[in-house]
Amino acid sequence: MDLESLYQEVVIDHNRHPRNFGRLEPADRSAEGHNPLCGDDLLLTLRLERERISEMRFEGQGCAISTASASLMSEAVQGLELRAACTLLERFLKRVTDPAAEASPELGKLEALAGVRKFPGRVKCATLCWHTLKAALNGGERNVSTE
Amino acid sequence: MSSVARQPVAEGFDVERLRGDFPLLTRRVHDHPLVYLDNAATTQKPETVLRTLDDYYRNTNSNVHRGVHYLSELASAAYEQAREQLCALVNAASEREILFLRGTTEAINLVAGSYGGACLRPGDEVLITEMEHHANIVPWQLLRDRCGIRLRWVPINEHGDLIWEEYERFLEGPVRLVALTHLSNSLGTINPLRRVIQTAHAHGAVVLVDGAQAVPHLPVDVRALDCDFYAFSGHKMFGPTGIGVLYGRESLLEKMPPWQGGGDMIKAVSMEQTTFNDLPAKFEAGTPHIAGAIGLGRSAEFLAGLDRAAVLLHEQQLLESALAACKEIPGLRVIGEPHARGGLFSFVLEGVHAHDLGTFLDHRGIAVRTGHHCCMPVMRHFKIPATTRVSFALYNTLEEVQILARALLEAQRFFH
Ligand SMILES: Cc1ncc(COP(=O)(O)O)c(C=O)c1O
């Protein structure tokens, strides 16, 4: 359980230089995520085009894991059909929470976050943005909290 | 405080020998020697407390105040002896003023529920401060919602000290109770309690002190302080978890109604009514944490056996040396600079989120606390989402401070 398995190069890089950081105005969908324990706050804004996520931005503050996760997620879901985004979302959540889940090529760069599985206290950092994305896509509950 | 730290450590304070009393300190974490700097969350336990707990369950275990048999008498005597040890530790006037409860949280809830429920009226004001732990906020909010009291907050300044003028101004109102911490668990601030209490009394308010962080570090004398209630937890003073103390002035405890009902807190129960027991049993419903109380008695004795002035000096030295090391680290900001500070401080490190730092340090064997430390109002005051907190105990060493300082620099390189 070494530190490098949690903070892989990709993670450190996306924390240093978050991609798609910012806010879309106007946006078709948005949702906020909070992790009161760490004080993390996140705002996701999305634009949709014919059942596809055409653009996504995130802003807020968080640790390296939560920032990298949001940044990697934004790269992964832009351009995806909504159905495909939901599938990816479930696959990612399973990968980081289910010890039996194995690496899958569909996760691509997101696999770099799988190291959190061995750090129970940090899993929520990686999943916050994905739960927030779910809320945004469902368009229902717009305020997500890890607690 | 800073001037004392320059003086040499008093004769007879041997930190290495003391460490030898704490078996857990010898363990390794992630292949490094443990550097335990999370003492404000909970402290490690000395051999004497561990042995007392083990011995109680092996040789004495029995219920208290219930049987005439030999073991029950032994257990009852040990339980009451523990009360005497706690009474002596805080210099209460009588054992009747020492209630064994689950901890600080339960103690404050008892005062809010019993004293608050019976002695406060709608419109009465309860004063707390911006630096309180959630344990000294939420019970008052619950009371407010139940009984219509008004809850007011004394603000703190940028140093992390109470703003005295504001405190005095608030006391002009119908304040009936002031509840504040002795030593802040997020900023380290030591409040000027005597002055706070005198002034509150002059305005007819009673004072509850949250002593959770103070008891392991400062000698506490409830009669010299003249406080009305003083709450503290066993696990933060080298004792077991699940046990703590509420000191209450006898005249107040007498007029307060019981808080929970059950066995031991009664003299006689009929189908119509119940005659309540005398102090302190009136407030100790049900089978108490007997082993815990006896273990806590032993940790009180452990503390009493130390040269407390030397301990304080040692902890101040650790603090001074850590704060000096922090000054050398670019981008490190210590939160607050109170007038008097106990052996703890919180900080933020530019470019490294507290949570990442906590994980990084953990992998060097260093245990610190990260997050909001159950003080969300303090975090809001300083406009920071989360901090890292370093909190010392008597068994920490200057070498550990150096290990921490080196690790902080490494963390900065790692995340940059
Ligand atoms: C200042 C302060 N008050 C109250 C508490 C609550 O203590 P406990 O959780 O032992 O009841 C703590 C510790 O967490 C504390 O630091």
pLDDT per residue as tens digits for the range B179-228? 999 999 999 999 999 999 999 999 999 999 999 999 999 999 999 999 99
In a domain, A147, yes or no: no
Domains of chain B, each with CATH number or no CATH: 15-33+307-415 (3.90.1150.10), 50-304 (3.40.640.10)
- Within 13 Å and on the Cβ side, how many CA atoms surround B401? 23
DSSP A50: T
Decide if B238 contacts B49 (C-beta within 8 A).
yes
In a domain, A104, yes or no: yes
Quickly state the pLDDT bin for B416 (edges 50, 70, 90).
Answer: confident
The per-residue pLDDT for range A3-46, each reduced to its tens digit, is 999 999 999 999 999 999 999 999 999 999 998 877 789 999 99
Distance B181 CA to ligand 1 centre (A): 10
| Dist. CA A80–CA A110, nearest whole Å | 15
- Nearest chain B alpha carbon to A125: B355
Q: Output the pLDDT for position B266.
A: 87
CATH number at residue A8: 3.90.1010.10
pTM over 0.90: yes
Q: Give me the number of domains chain A comprises.
A: 1
Q: Does A12 touch chain B (CB under 8 A)?
A: yes
More confident call, A38 vs A97: A97
Q: Output the pLDDT for position B2.
A: 42
The residues of B that are catalytic are 374
Q: Output the pLDDT for position B156.
A: 97
| Dist. CA B185–CA B402, nearest whole Å | 23
In a domain, A63, yes or no: yes
Q: Does A39 touch chain B (CB under 8 A)?
A: yes
The per-residue pLDDT for range B231-274, each reduced to its tens digit, is 999 999 999 999 999 999 999 999 999 999 998 888 888 888 88
Amino acid at A89: L
| Dist. CA B386–CA B407, nearest whole Å | 19
The rounded percent of chain B whose pLDDT value lies above 90 is: 88
Q: Output the pLDDT for position A146.
A: 67
| Dist. CA A133–CA A142, nearest whole Å | 9
Using only the alpha carbons of chain B, give its radius of gyration: 22
User: How many C-beta atoms lie closer than 10 Å to residue B14's C-beta?
Assistant: 11
| Dist. CA B234–CA B99, nearest whole Å | 13
> What average pLDDT is seen over chain A?
92
Distance B361 CA to ligand 1 centre (A): 24
Q: Does B353 touch chain A (CB under 8 A)?
A: yes
User: SS3 for A14?
Assistant: helix
- Encode burial over B375-398: b for 16+ CB neighbours within 10 A, e otherwise: bbbbbebbebbbbbbbbbbbbbbe
**Which residues in A36-140 belong to E strands, given as ranges?**
40-49, 52-61
Given a cut of 90, whether residue A55 has pLDDT beyond it is yes
Q: Which residues contact B72 (CB under 8 A, 6 or more apart)?
A: B62, B63, B64, B65, B66
Place of tokens 């003080």: B375
Peptide bond into B8 cis (omega under 30): no
Q: Is the CB of B105 under 6 A from ligand 1?
A: yes
Q: Output the pLDDT for position A1.
A: 61
Inter-chain contact B371–A62, Cβ cutoff 8 Å? Answer: no
What are the C-alpha distances in Å from A75 to residues A19, A69, A78, A97, B365?
A: 7, 10, 6, 21, 35
DSSP A111-144: GGGGGGGG-GGGHHHHHHHHHHHHHHHH-S--EE
3-state secondary structure chain B: CHHHHCCCCCCCCCHHHHHCCCHHHHCEECCEECEECECCCCCCCCHHHHHHHHHHHHHHCCCCCCCCCHHHHHHHHHHHHHHHHHHHHHCCCCHHHEEEECCHHHHHHHHHHHHHHHHCCCCCEEEEECCCCHHHCHHHHHHHHHHCCEEEEECECCCCCECHHHHHHHHCCCEEEEEEECECCCCCEECCHHHHHHHHHHCCCEEEEECCCCCCCCCCCHHHHCCCEEEEEHHHHCCCCCCEEEEECHHHHHHCCCCCCCCCCEEEECCCCEEECCCCHHHCCCCCCHHHHHHHHHHHHHHHCCCHHHHHHHHHHHHHHHHHHHHCCCCEEECCCCCCECCEEEEEECCECHHHHHHHHHCCCEECEEECCCCHHHHHHHCCCCEEEEECCCCCCHHHHHHHHHHHHHHHHHHC
| Dist. CA B222–CA B207, nearest whole Å | 11
Q: Output the pLDDT for position B285.
A: 94
Domain that holds residue A108: 3-141
Instruction: Please choose from B236, B245, B373, B375 the residue to mutate so as to test ligand 1's pocket, defined by most ligand atoms within 8 A of CB.
Output: B236
Question: What's the token pair of residue B174?
Answer: 């119908």
In a domain, A146, yes or no: no
Quickly state the pLDDT bin for B116 (edges 50, 70, 90).
Answer: very high
Backbone CA torsion sign across B144, B145, B148, B150:
positive
Instruction: Please choose from B129, B133, B191 the residue to mutate so as to test ligand 1's pocket, defined by most ligand atoms within 8 A of CB.
Output: B133
- Nearest chain B alpha carbon to A12: B415
Q: Whose CA is nearest to atom 12 of ligand 1?
A: B212
Burial class for B126, CB neighbours closer than 10 Å (0-12, 13-18, 19+) = buried
Report phi then psi at B185, rounded to 5. Answer: -80, -10
The per-residue pLDDT for range B144-188, each reduced to its tens digit, is 999 999 999 999 999 999 999 999 999 999 999 999 999 999 999
Describe the strand order of the beta sheet including A40-49 as a list of residue ranges. A52-61, A40-49, A29-35, A143-145
Q: Which residues contact B372 (CB under 8 A, 6 or more apart)?
A: A36, A37, A39, B186, B378, B379, B385, B386, B387
Decide if B342 contacts B322 (C-beta within 8 A).
no
In a domain, A99, yes or no: yes
Given a cut of 80, whether residue A145 has pLDDT beyond it is no
Mean pLDDT within A86-98: 95
Quickly state the pLDDT bin for B3 (edges 50, 70, 90).
Answer: very low
